[in-house]
Amino acid sequence: MFGLPVIIVAIAIGFAVAAGLLAVSLTPSKSDVTKRLEELEGLRFAPGQSRTQAFEKLFNQEQRGKLQQQLYEAGWYTVTPAKIGARIVALAIFGFTLGICLAAYFHSTDLIFLAGIGLLTAMGAYAPLSQLKMAIKKRKILIQKALPDLLDMLASTVQAGLAFNAALASAQEVAVGPLGEEIKAVLSEVRLGRSRADALKSMANRVRQEQLATTVTAIVQAERLGSNLSTVLEELAEEVRNRRMIRAEEIANLMPTKMVLPMAMFMLPALFVTIFGGVVAEVMTHNQ
């Protein structure tokens, strides 16, 4: 059995290591577009070896590729898989140290506390991945909501006689949130010399939102075939709105099914108490 001073020192070291790793993992890295812009402007960029590079070994090649794609979908362009690995290790250490701290506080080392330490460690390790998944879901919803208004504005500006690049530049000043950030990235890549079609496809591959991917495909094909771009944009905006309405109706139709379990757990017991509570009380009174 370790003495109390040893446990206190171990807890302090654990929290310090977790805090240090978390601080390093939260340091933003430069995105690929920023690096290329700096190179074109004559600024030197030395890749160097990141302090969190060793944590990439937590994932194999396939997992790193999948994690990198998820980071793109979440819009975390300044975060690398190595930084996510550092966060996993840091929060796992934090959870483990917190469990040790609670066990020392209650002076208990039984099986329940050991299971609690393991649970806190697992929860800490999973927290960064859970946060990443929630960020992906939230970002795709925001892009879906902003897409129809963006398409309406693009259609209006193109119909007014602006070129599509100029229309995108005007739209990115008005568009807010993740979609506006992606439009800015597209324009930055076009300034780097990339073709507009490739820049739009790259945006679709990064975001991987179904309606945005459909929109990009339609725009690229319309330009290639020489179709009226303003008409295509108006039709796309209407289609996106219709899909959003259909999705809302599908969610509304699922509500009765989702309400069955809460009703069975909360409403029915209260209803039974209201109906039979008085009868049971009266019977118990007469039996005494």
How far apart are alpha carbons 259 and 243 in whole angstroms?
25
Domain ranges for the chain, please list them: 4-137, 140-255
Per-residue pLDDT tens digits for 133-165: 999 999 999 998 888 888 888 888 888 888 888
Write down the pLDDT at residue 52.
Answer: 67
User: Six-digit token pair at 104?
Assistant: 């020392």
Block residue for tokens 């398409």: 151
Per-residue pLDDT tens digits for 228-276: 888 888 888 888 888 878 877 888 888 888 788 887 788 778 887 888 7
CB 197 within 8 A of CB 41: no
Task: Quickly name the fold that domain 140-255 has.
Answer: Receptor-associated Protein (1.20.81)
Per-residue pLDDT tens digits for 76-110: 988 888 899 989 999 999 999 998 888 888 877 78
| Backbone angles phi and psi of 133, in degrees to 5 | -65, -40
Q: Sorting pLDDT into bands at 50, 70 and 90, what band is 50?
A: low
Provide the Cα torsion 253, 256, 259, 263; round to 10°.
170
